[in-house]
Amino acid sequence: MTDQPIPLKQTMDITEIMSILPHRYPFLLIDRILEMERKIRIVAIKNVTINEPHFAGHFPDFPIMPGVLIIEAIAQAGGALLLTEIPDRDTKLMVFAGIDSAKFRKPVVPGDQLRIEVTVLNWRSTAVRLHGVATVDGKVACEATIMCALTSRTPKKPATAGAAAE
What are the catalytic residues? 58
Distance separating alpha carbons of residues 4 and 143, to the nearest angstrom: 36
Q: How far apart are CA 83 and CA 17, in angstroms?
A: 10
Q: Which of 52, 100, 49 is nearest to 75 (CA)?
A: 100
Please answer whether residues 153 and 91 qualify as being in contact, where contact means their C-beta atoms are separated by less than 8 angstroms: yes
Say how far apart CA 81 and CA 38 lie, in whole Å.
7
> What are the φ/ψ torsions at residue 152 (nearest 5 degrees)?
-70, 140
b/e per residue 28-47 (b: at least 16 CB within 10 A): bbbbbbeebeeeebbbbbbe
